[in-house]
Structure 1
Amino acid sequence: METELLQPEFQSLPLNWNANQKDIYYICEQYFKLSLRCAKNPELLKAFQDPSKTVAFLTDGKNKDGYVWKDTENEYWKGCGMKLPEHTKVILDYDTSWPTLYFTKKGNDQETITIKESPLFVQVFSSGSSGIKTIKRELLPESDESKVILPFNVGDLTNYEAILIMPCFIPDKDMLTKVYCNDKKEAAEIILTTT
């Protein structure tokens, strides 16, 4: 199998893409750029993994004190473009492939609402003293959006602790797998990596 990489001057989004597809592409592109930069810059990786700054990296690049990272003298990291509740805790996980968002109610009632993405489904369920209840399980249309309505109001977000488990694809943490044929052990026939 042969693959061909697009040259930057030839890269463009398909004309038939809708706004959702363009948003998905932009956020993924920004997250991938961030991952590549983290692989090359240990200080950036350290800043990205700082819980007080991670949400800013994923959203608009800002926290209360302004931008959290300056790429060059005149260019700030503008974020990946996600939108998250202000006090979301983010866990960067090397073993997960799709984001999962948890809302755990503060206080004695330990109800948790889980929003779990996968390539084919968005699943929403609650768990607590009354057991586990599926709120939504939807087969996703290709490159489109899924709408999840939480069972509480915007003002009630302060009553919940939000935790986002994000996949972490930083290339220097990845592995290269080389596959050889028995009769030609000096040259790999297949080379694999996740990024």
Structure 2
Amino acid sequence: MINEVQRLINHEAEAIQNIPVSDQYERAIELIEKHVHQLHGKLVASGMGKAGQIALNIATTFSSTGTPAVFLHPSDAQHGDLGVIQPNDVLLLISNSGKTREILELVDLADNLWPNLPIIVITGNPDGELCKMANVTLFTGNPAEVCTLGLTPSTSTTTMTVIGDILVVLMMKRIGFTNAEYAKRHHGGYLGDKSRRQARLTPDQLSK
């Protein structure tokens, strides 16, 4: 079993290393900065199923690091939650297939409410219908799932998570997000205590 565990870890690690790197990341950061930090909109992340869970994680991580974001379930959007979207928002949509019906419908509904909202897509299919609607496409590399059936979202969601982490870190650097600002948003628990203690240190002390 030890050998099998190592094989699975290697599979996941290789998928991460093979995520394509392009100028689409810079374009995504520029869109988010413009609409959230300059126009005072927010990032609205959405996905269906496992991709939706990744979108929720990305949204909460963005919010805790200085970029207001919410998760919008695509099905709930059809029952009133679409109203959370405002005219200066930017959409972050996740679909491995690039053709998830609920996400495609969400794009149409959002466009009917506020036309021409910018769209960032994380997908394993850059030729999918969703990408034709996108301003920015971030490709996962479409790795084979580590699942023994090749079906369960596993490796694909790993790469989606990594792409989300990259966007968060790039945005933190872009806006100069500090320990003091983190502490304001994350008061409780170990991280809240740690961020408050670090906020009291000088830059030289933090680097040691």
Superposed pair shares fold, TM > 0.5: no
TM-score (norm 2): 0.23
The answer to which structure has the higher strand fraction is 1
The answer to which structure has the higher helix fraction is 2
> Which structure would you say has the larger RCO, counting Cα contacts within 8 Å and 6 or more residues apart?
2
Larger Rg: 1
